[in-house]
Structure 1
Amino acid sequence: MNRRELAQGAVLATVLGLAGGTAEAQGQAQGQGQSRPGGQEGWVTAWTGSAQGPYPVGNPSAQPNQSFAFPQPEEGARDQTFRLVLRPDLWGRRARLRFSNAFGTRPLQLAGVHAGLQFGGAALLPGSNRPVRFGGADSVTVPPGGQVWSDAVELPFAAEPDSALLMGRKMAVSFHVAGPSGPMTWHAKALQTSYVTPPGAGSRGAEEGEASFPFSTASWFFLDAVDMTAPAGTPVVLCFGDSITDGTASTMNGDDRWPDVLSRRLHATLGNRVAVVNAGIGGNQVVGPAEYGPQKPFPGGPSALARLERDIISLSGIRAVVWLEGTNDFSRNGNASFEAVRDGMRQGVERLRAAIPGIRVVGATVTSALGSTSAAHGHAEQDGKRKALNAFIREGGLFDAVVDFDAATLDPATGGLRPEMVPDSTIGGPGDKLHPNRAGYLAMGMAVEPRAVLPPA
Structure 2
Amino acid sequence: MINKSMRRCAVAFALSLAAGCSAPPVPMPEPPSAAPVPSAAPASWVGTWGTAVQHGGRSFHDHTVRQIVHTSIGGDSARLRFSNEFGTGPLVIGSAYLAHRAGGGAVTDSRPVTFGGAASVTVPPGSTAVSDEVAFAVPADGDVAVTVHLPTTAGGTMHGIAVQDTYVASGDQAAAGTLSGAKTESSWYFLSGLDVRNADATGAVVAFGASITDGFGSRFNGNQRWPDLLADRLRAAGLTVGVLNAGISGNRLTVDDRGESAPNRFDRDVLSRPGARWVIISDDAINDLGAADPPSAAELTGALGKLIERAHGAGLRVICATLTPYEGAGYWTARGESARGEINAFLRGSGSGCDAVLDADRATHDPSAPTRYRREHDSGDHLHPGAAGLQAIADAVPLDVFTR
Match of 1:147 among 97, 112, 128: 128
TM-score relative to the length of structure 1: 0.77
**In the alignment, does 2:242 pair up with 1:311?**
no
Deviations 1:313-369 (A, max 9, x none): 1111111111112101111256122111111111111112212x2x21011100011
Deviations 1:89-141 (A, max 9, x none): 1121111111001111011111110000111111012xx10000111111111
- Aligned to 2:279, the other structure's residue is in SS state strand
The 1:134/1:334 distance shift into structure 2, 3 A limit, reads farther
Match of 1:179 among 121, 137, 152: 152
**1:130 is matched by which residue type in structure 2?**
R
TM-score relative to the length of structure 2: 0.87
Retained in 2: the 8 A contact 1:320–1:455? Answer: no
Identity %, equivalent residues: 37
Q: Partner residue of 1:43?
A: 45
Moved over 4 A (4+): 25-28
How large is the RMSD of aligned CA atoms in angstroms?
2.0
Q: Partner residue of 2:335?
A: 381
Q: How does 1:36-435 map to 2 (within 5 A)?
A: 40-55=42-57, 73=58, 76-125=59-108, 128-155=109-136, 158=137, 166-181=139-154, 183-197=155-169, 201-213=170-182, 215-231=183-199, 234-270=202-238, 273-289=240-256, 298=257, 300-325=258-283, 326-332=285-291, 335-355=294-314, 357=315, 359-372=316-329, 374=330, 377-395=331-349, 396-414=351-369, 415-423=371-379, 431-435=380-384
- Aligned to 2:152, the other structure's residue is in SS state strand
After TM superposition, give the deviation of residue 233 of structure 1 in Å.
5.7
Retained in 2: the 8 A contact 1:48–1:225? Answer: yes
**2:341 is matched by which residue type in structure 1?**
K
- Aligned to 1:327, the other structure's residue is in SS state helix
Structure (1/2) with the larger strand percentage? 2
Q: Distance in 1 between matches of 2:205 and 2:41?
A: 21
Q: Distance in 1 between matches of 2:193 and 2:356?
A: 26
The 1:203/1:257 distance shift into structure 2, 3 A limit, reads same
Unaligned runs of 5+ in 2: 8-38
Q: Distance in 1 between matches of 2:88 and 2:320?
A: 36
> Looking at both structures, which has the greater relative contact order when contacts are Cα pairs under 8 Å and sequence separation is at least 6?
1
The 1:167/1:226 distance shift into structure 2, 3 A limit, reads closer
Retained in 1: the 8 A contact 2:254–2:261? Answer: yes
Q: Distance in 1 between matches of 2:230 and 2:41?
A: 27
Q: Distance in 1 between matches of 2:89 and 2:165?
A: 27
Deviations 1:357-394 (A, max 9, x none): 2x21011100011111x3xx222111111111000000
The 1:26/1:320 distance shift into structure 2, 3 A limit, reads farther
Larger radius of gyration: 2
Q: Distance in 2 between matches of 1:333 and 1:259?
A: 30
